[in-house]
Amino acid sequence: MIDDYLRRARDLPSRDPYEGLPARQKELLRMVADGSTVPQVADSLGMSAKTARSYLNNVMKRLALHNRAELVKYAIRKGLVSLKQ
């Protein structure tokens, strides 16, 4: 029984939580990682700053990121932003 469970768990594809994010949350992540402030992102995406902040909190929770530095590192590793400007 345990062996069967472990075999099925091994066979499941590991899902990248980033892939499950809606497009607007992905764009918000990219913009914040690129240096935009929450009010700038909100204005650019046509939403309130409160909504943008809520999206950012949800993104960070889903990706298990604890601060903006981790968010920037994550975005660089994913290729969402680059160090070249």
**Confidence (pLDDT) at 2:** 78
Give the start-to-end residue ranges of the domains of the chain.
Answer: 2-78
Distances (CA, A) of 59 to 15, 45, 82: 15, 16, 20
* Contact of 33 with 71, CB cutoff 8 Å: yes
Give 11's pLDDT tier (boundaries 50, 70, 90): low
Q: Which fold has domain 2-78?
A: Arc Repressor Mutant, subunit A (1.10.10)
Q: What is the mean pLDDT of residues 4-17?
A: 69
The pTM for the full model equals 0.79
